[in-house]
Every structure is written in C-alpha cells, then in structure tokens.
Amino acid sequence: MSSDTKSSSPTETVLKTENASVYYGNFRALQGISLDIPKQQITALIGPSGCGKSTLLRCYNRLNDLVKGFRVEGKISYHGQDLYAPEIDPVELRRRIGMVFQKPNPFPKSIYDNIAFGPRLVGYKGDMDDLVERSLKQSALWDEVKDKLKQNGAALSGGQQQRLCIARAIAVQPDVILMDEPCSALDPISTLRIEDLLQELKQHYTIIIVTHNMQQASRVSDMTAFFNVEMTEKGGRVGHLVEYSETQRIFQSPTEKSTQEYVSGRFG
Amino acid sequence: MSSPRTLFAIGMTGLTFLAAAIALLILVAILSYVVINGGSRVSLDLFTQLPPVAVIKTGGGFGNALIGTLMTVMIAVLLSVPFGILAAIYLSEFGRETLFSSIVDFLTNVLSGVPSIVVGVFAYGVIVTKTGFSLKLGFSAIAGGVALAVLMLPIVVRTAAEALESVPNDVRQAAIGLGATQFQTVFRIVLPAAIPSITTGVMLAVARAAGETAPLILTTLFGYSWINSLIAPPTPTLSVLVFNFATGPSRNQQQLAWAASLILVALVLITSLLSRLAIRRKV
C-alpha cells in the first residue's frame, strides 16, 4: 500500500477476498475477485449495472445465502477466518457485519423500537435508552427525533429513514458496515448529510459502499474498486474486478483504459 | 346530437349503476324484512329467557341459543386461528417455494370448496355418533366447534398467508441483516406487521361461521334448556333455532325465529365493522 494514504499506520485487512467466484445456480455472477478491505476506511465499489458489485457486498455478510442456488468459490475471510467455513454461523456473523440497504427500510415500529430491535435479539442487558440515544447521535438523527421516539419510523422523511437505518445498524455495535447504494433513493441534501455522516462513522467502523454515483465515490471513499461486465463465450454476462487502488488514483490516473472511460463518464 | 357510441356509453354506465343499486337493494330488503318481522320481539327477554315449546303461545327468548352460538364460534376460533396462522406462517415464510407448501396451498383451496353439509357429516361421523370410529361425544358445542373450525380454517390460512406475503421483503432482509434468525424475523417483525390484515381475515371467517346452519344441525342439534357442559347435552344455536322455528306451526316460535335472525345479522354486522376498524388502524 502506498505511503500517501491518509491513515498513518499501515492498515490492517478486515475482509480478504481471494480469487472468489460467485454463482447463482449455473449462472456465474462474479469471477476471480481478489480484494482486500482495509480497516476503518471507506471502500467504494463502483461499476456499471450488472457488474456484480452488490453481489460481492452481500457475500460479506452472507445475505446471499438466502438466494436459492447461490454458491461461492475461492476464499473470503474476515480477520483471517474463512467466512464460508462450516463452523461460521451466518446469524452471528451478521451482528459483526451490518448492512444498510438501497431503499430505506425501517421496521413498521417506533423509532425507539427500530433501534432497540437488534440489541434485544441477543438480550442486551445494558441501558437501552442510553444505547438508543448514542446510536441516534452517531447517525446525526438525535436532534431531529429526540422528542418523538415513540413515533412510527415510517413517518420520517426518506433521508431521516436512511439515517434511522444506519442508527439501527450501529446499535448492534458491528465492526463493518456494508452500504448498498444508500443514497440512490434520496434527494441531494439528504445525500450530502449521509456522506458527511460516513466520514464520522469511519472513525469507528470499516465501511464498504456500493454506489452508482462516481462523484460520491470520489468524495467519500479512501479506496475504490472498479468492476465491469464482460460477455462470456456462451453469451452470458459475468462481473470482474478491473482495478482496485486508492480512490485518488482510480479517478486521476487509472491504469486500465476501461476504468478511465468509466470514471470520465464515457459509459456506464 | 350525441353519437351512437356516446349514447351506448351512457346506456352502459346506467346499466352498471342499476346493477350496483340492485345489489344494495337486496341487502336493504333483507335487513328491513328482518327488522320489520323480528324488531317487535326485541327485548331483554330474548337474552334472558329460554325458547318456548310449540304449545306456549307467548313469551320466551333464546338466551341459551345465543350462548350456544357464542360458545360454538369461540371453540371454532380457538381451534382454527392459532392452527391457521401457524400454517400460513409455514406456507409464506419457512416453507416458501417448497413442494410441500404448494401441495398444502392447493389442498387448502380444495378444503374451502367443500360444502358445509359435508363438513357437518364428517364432524358427526368422527365426534358425535356413538358407533364405529368416533370420539362418541354426542351432540355438543365441541362437535359444532370442530365443524365450524374446519370451515374457518381455509379462510384463516388464505387471508393470513396473503397478509404475511404483503409484508415487504426488504423489511425481512433488514432483520436478517441485523443478525436476526428467520424465526425472530417472522415473529418479531413480519407477523406484527401483518396482524391488522390477519384480524380482518379472522373476523370474516367468524362472520361466516356464526351463520352456518347445516353442519350445526348435524353436530350441536337443539335444546330448550340452558347449556351446562361443553360436551354432554345438545347445544342450541341461533341459526339452528331459526331453522327449527321459522317453518313451524307456532306463531310465537315463528316470531322468535325472526328475532333470532335479526340478532344473527346484527352479530355479523358487528364483526364486519370490527374488522373494518382493524384495517383502519393499520393506515
């Protein structure tokens, strides 16, 4: 890793992907991905639709397990531990690796109960009021909702809902937060608030964000991975990793021609 | 002058309006007929007195039949609702897209098409009758409750499964993503979100069951005294009282049949209104 990255110490790898391929039944979605996610940095996954960036994201918390016919070849490890080893309980894993989805999806419950849901699942013994307040403060939502914690989460605006979802993910005190196009359903001002929030969150969490918005990737991330799709001999489409480097390099002096074309808006 | 096409459109609009009006008229006709014939007998006596035998010319009520109907329906609810909701949870959550769940789904539809008299005969055969392969309980609220439960079950399963399926998938994913097991996801998130719609389905099933007569003739029979056991004596119900009294020679009994019809309609109306309220609370 080059010395001009912002963090002072050489960063530890949280999630290591080694030559991973992902299949849904006979369909190969991703091929030969090797990618190291550094600790407490923001890694952006960019690329055209269908390149498999969301698929890869969902491999990290094993959410793809719910999809019929899903399987992964190669190795994905979390702090050195094979994620797909038989002794790994995906339910436990998802407490360590939280997720924020594309569309804000608060539970049809009060704001308070939305946040308390995760901790209650494991019988959290501490002060719940305190945890709710802390999580809401960390997600920069506290001031807007502190007087209406009993209100339904669905009554909030889209941007507030998404920050509620972030607070909900934080409340279980994860290590990594996966974000699947978290701003694609939001207006520009809400988007900006979430982007500011990401800079705060990376002090404590490792963040991986999938985004269609190249400006967003260049604004918020430390590392960027560019994915592309190619046609296979049989006419199928398979995603692969083209280039992975510091965000600055990807956007200013990429090695690959297709990266250059994509980040300059030539296709995608 | 309007073109023929416009005239045709106006004519068809009128026709559909007429059809809608007739549908409304039929309901109004039933309600007013029942009120006119039964309204005059409505008094506290109806709920506190026992039904008169044919030779008694005045008075009496059907307190025992009202209790019998409530009891029978309650047993049916207690049997069919928990069972039906759990089955629906399997169909739409745990067993989604399995062969077994599609078989059960299909058979539930078949079950909802079984005529109520057949269900009555079945309940008579396995619970009431004193011979052969039967629980040999005799005519009773239990037997009636079981028959009604069988009739309610497919309605409960159908509506509950639909209610669960209408809960958006991203809410499930959110719960799973927070480290919830599938069980926790279903029982803490999906089921609570579906409860208002499930309540509506249950109310509709109750309204259907409360008015059933054929299976009750075969399972609860009728009686002129108060009910003091769930199993032993024949259990009078409102619908069977209407069936027995409406066509009899006694003027007094005929009037009571009308009054019982009125109370039955009122019960169904109240359950429908309650289910409406349950939906509204959701929005």
pLDDT digits (tens, 9 = 90+) for A145-195: 999 999 999 999 999 999 999 999 999 999 999 999 999 888 899 899 999
Q: What is the pLDDT of residues A64-79, one digit of tens each?
A: 998 889 999 999 999 9
Res. B56 pLDDT band, cuts 50 70 90: confident
**Residue A39 CA from chain centroid, whole number:** 13
Classify each residue of A91-115 as buried b or exposed e, where b means 16 or more C-beta atoms within 10 Å of its C-beta: bebbbbbbbbbbbbbbbbbbbbbbb
Contact flag A63-B176 (C-beta cutoff 8 Å): yes
Domains and CATH numbers, chain A: 13-263 (3.40.50.300)
- CATH of the structural domain B46-282, one choice from 3.40.50.300, 3.10.129.10, 1.10.3720.10, 3.30.70.1230: 1.10.3720.10
Tell me the C-alpha distance between A115 and B234, whole Å: 55
Contact A184, A102 (CB under 8 A): yes
In chain B the first and final C-alpha atoms are separated, in Å, by 47
Question: Residues of B with CB below 8 A from A101's CB?
Answer: 170, 173-174, 177
Q: What is the pLDDT of residues A203-239, one digit of tens each?
A: 999 999 999 888 899 999 999 999 999 887 777 789 9
Residues B18-27, mean pLDDT to the nearest whole number: 95
- What element of type H or E holds A181? none
Q: Under a CB-based contact definition with an 8 Å cutoff, are residues B141 and B235 in contact?
A: yes
Element (DSSP H or E) covering residue A90: helix A90-96
Amino acid letter at B40? S
How far apart CA A75 and CA B239 sit, in angstroms, is: 68
pLDDT of residue B232: 63
What residues of A are in contact with residue B192 (Cβ under 8 Å)?
108-109
Q: How confident is the model at residue A1 (pLDDT cuts 50, 70, 90)?
A: very low
Spatial neighbors of B25 by CB under 8 A, at least 6 apart, are: none
> Which of A103, A105, A172 minimises the CB distance to B179?
A172
* pLDDT (tens digit per residue) in A12-60: 899 999 999 999 988 889 999 999 999 999 999 999 988 999 999 999 9
Instruction: Give residue A263's Cα distance to chain centre.
Output: 20
Which among B170, B180, B192 is the nearest to A121, CB-wise?
Answer: B180
**Region B11-23 average pLDDT:** 95
Nearest C-alpha of chain B: how many angstroms from A95? 5
The residue of chain B with its CA nearest to that of A115 is B178
The C-alpha atoms of residue B87 and residue B154 are separated, in whole angstroms, by 10
Q: What percent of chain B has pLDDT over 90?
A: 64
Q: Best interface-test mutation with A: which of B170, B178, B191, B282 has the largest number of A CBs within 10 A?
A: B178
Buried b (16+ CB within 10 A) or exposed e, B250-275: bebbebbbbbbbbbbbebbeebeeeb
* Residue of chain B whose alpha carbon sits nearest to that of A90: B179
Q: In chain B, count of helices (H) and strands (E)?
A: 12, 0
Q: By CA distance, what is B169's nearest residue in A?
A: A105
Per-residue pLDDT, averaged over B219-237, amounts to 82
The residue type found at A84 is: Y
Place of tokens 């099933």: B205
Q: What angle do CA A108, B185, A195 make, to 5 degrees?
A: 60
Assign B191 to helix, strand or coil: helix
Contact A168 B174 (CB under 8 A): yes
Binary contact (B178, A98; C-beta < 8 A): yes
- With beta carbons under 8 A apart, name residues in chain A contacting B188: 117, 121
Chain B residues with CB under 8 Å of a chain A CB are 97, 168, 170-171, 173-181, 184, 188-189, 192-193
Contact flag B170-A105 (C-beta cutoff 8 Å): yes
Fill in the amino acid letter for B227.
Answer: I
How far apart, in Å, are the Cα atoms of B54 and each of B51, B245, B250, B255, B261?
A: 9, 9, 5, 12, 18
- Asked if residue A3 has pLDDT above 90, the reply is no
Q: CA-CA distances (angstroms) from residue A74 to A32, A83, B44, B114, B224?
A: 8, 11, 79, 55, 78
**Measured between beta carbons, which residues in chain B are less than 8 angstroms from residue A91?**
179-181
Which residue among B168, B179, B192 places its CB closest to the CB of A94? B179
Inter-chain touch A105–B184, beta carbons under 8 Å: no
Our CA-based measurement puts residue A94 at a distance from the nearest CA of chain B, in whole angstroms, of 5
For residue B173, the chain A residues in CB contact (below 8 A) are: 63, 66, 101, 105
Predicted pLDDT of residue A11: 78
What pLDDT does residue B136 have? Answer: 83
CA distance A159 to chain B (A): 17
Q: Which residues of A touch B97 (CB under 8 A)?
A: 68
Q: What is the pLDDT of residues B71-120, one digit of tens each?
A: 999 999 999 999 999 999 999 999 888 899 999 999 999 999 999 999 99
Q: Which residue has the higher pLDDT, B133 or B177?
A: B177
**Phi, psi angles (nearest 5°) of residue B161:** -65, -40
Q: How far away is chain A from the Cα of B108, in angstroms, using its nearest Cα?
A: 26
**pLDDT band at residue B1, thresholds of 50, 70 and 90?**
low
Q: Do the chains contact at B177 and A63, CB–CB below 8 Å? A: yes
> Which of A95, A106, A108 is facing B179, going by the closest CB pair?
A95
Residue written as tokens 């047993």? B75
Contacts of B65 (CB under 8 A, 6+ apart): B51, B236, B237, B238, B240, B241, B260
Hey, is A84 helix, strand or coil? Answer: coil
Residue in B168, B177, B193 closest to A61 by CB: B177
DSSP string, B94-155: ITTT-HHHHHHHHHHHHHHHS-HHHHHHHHIIIII-SSSSS----S-HHHHHHHHHHHHHHH
Minimal Cα–Cα distance from B173 to chain A, Å?
A: 8
